[in-house]
Copies of this chain bind each other. A is one copy, B any other.
Amino acid sequence: MITPRKRYLLTPGPTPVPEDVLLSQARPIIHHRTGEFREVLKQVMEDLKYVFQTQNEVLIFASSGTGGMEAAVVNLAAKGVKFLTVAGGKFGERWKEICSSFGVDFVTLEVEWGKAVEPQDVEEILKSDKNIKVVLTTLCETSTGVVNDVRALAEVVKKYDAILVVDAISGLLADELRMDEWGIDVVVSGSQKGLMLPPGLGFISLSQRAWDIVEKADVKAYYFDLKKARKSGVNYDTPYTPAVSLIMALKKALEMIKEEGIENIWARHAQLAGICRNAITSLGLKLFATRPSNAVTSVSLPEGIDGSELVKFIRQEFGVSIAGGQGKLKGKIFRIAHLGYMNIFDLLVGIASLEFALHHLGYKFELGRGLLKVEEEFLKQYK
Residues of A within 8 A of B (CB): 2-6, 8, 18, 256, 260, 264, 268, 318, 341-345, 348-349, 352-353, 355-356, 359-360, 367-368, 371-372, 375-376, 378-379, 382
Question: Who on chain B is nearest to A382 by CB?
Answer: B356
On chain B, the residues within 8 Å of A349 by CB distance are: 345, 348-349
Measured in the bound complex, the distance between the Cα atoms of B342 and A4 in whole Å is 6
Shortest CB distance A322–B (Å):
14
Counted per complex, copies of this chain come to 2
Of B318, B343, B356, the contact of A3 (CB 8 Å cutoff) = B343
Measured in the bound complex, the distance between the Cα atoms of B6 and A359 in whole Å is 29
Shortest CB distance A193–B (Å):
15
Measured in the bound complex, the distance between the Cα atoms of B15 and A314 in whole Å is 26
Shortest CB distance A20–B (Å):
11
Measured in the bound complex, the distance between the Cα atoms of B6 and A256 in whole Å is 13
On chain B, the residues within 8 Å of A260 by CB distance are: 3-4
On chain B, the residues within 8 Å of A5 by CB distance are: 343
Are the C-beta atoms of B3 and A264 separated by less than 8 Å? Answer: yes
Are the C-beta atoms of A375 and B379 separated by less than 8 Å? Answer: no
The 4 A-B residue pairs with the shortest CB-CB distance, nearest first, are A368-B372, A371-B371, A345-B349, A2-B343
On chain B, the residues within 8 Å of A8 by CB distance are: 345
Measured in the bound complex, the distance between the Cα atoms of B306 and A196 in whole Å is 38
Question: Who on chain B is nearest to A340 by CB?
Answer: B4
On chain B, the residues within 8 Å of A375 by CB distance are: 352, 355-356, 367-368, 371
On chain B, the residues within 8 Å of A4 by CB distance are: 18, 256, 260, 341-343
Question: Who on chain B is nearest to A379 by CB?
Answer: B359
Are the C-beta atoms of A345 and B18 separated by less than 8 Å? Answer: no
Are the C-beta atoms of B376 and A367 separated by less than 8 Å? Answer: yes
Q: Are A3 and B348 also in contact (CB < 8 A) when A367-B372, A367-B376, A382-B356 are?
A: no
Measured in the bound complex, the distance between the Cα atoms of B371 and A355 in whole Å is 12
On chain B, the residues within 8 Å of A360 by CB distance are: 382
Are the C-beta atoms of A345 and B3 separated by less than 8 Å? Answer: no
Measured in the bound complex, the distance between the Cα atoms of B79 and A127 in whole Å is 103
Question: Who on chain B is nearest to A2 by CB?
Answer: B343
Pick 17 A–B contacts, CB within 8 A, sort by A. Answer: A2-B343, A2-B344, A2-B345, A3-B264, A4-B256, A4-B342, A5-B343, A348-B348, A348-B349, A349-B349, A352-B375, A356-B379, A367-B372, A368-B368, A368-B371, A371-B371, A371-B375
Shortest CB distance A265–B (Å):
9
On chain B, the residues within 8 Å of A382 by CB distance are: 356, 360
Question: Who on chain B is nearest to A26 by CB?
Answer: B26
Beyond A359-B379, A368-B368, A371-B372, 18 additional contacts (C-beta under 8 Å) are A2-B343, A2-B344, A2-B345, A3-B268, A4-B18, A4-B256, A4-B342, A4-B343, A6-B343, A345-B349, A348-B349, A349-B349, A355-B375, A360-B382, A367-B376, A368-B375, A371-B371, A372-B372
Question: Who on chain B is nearest to A378 by CB?
Answer: B356
Measured in the bound complex, the distance between the Cα atoms of B379 and A365 in whole Å is 14
Shortest CB distance A9–B (Å):
13
Measured in the bound complex, the distance between the Cα atoms of B4 and A260 in whole Å is 8
Measured in the bound complex, the distance between the Cα atoms of B375 and A349 in whole Å is 11
On chain B, the residues within 8 Å of A355 by CB distance are: 375
Question: Who on chain B is nearest to A355 by CB?
Answer: B375
Measured in the bound complex, the distance between the Cα atoms of B2 and A379 in whole Å is 11
On chain B, the residues within 8 Å of A359 by CB distance are: 379
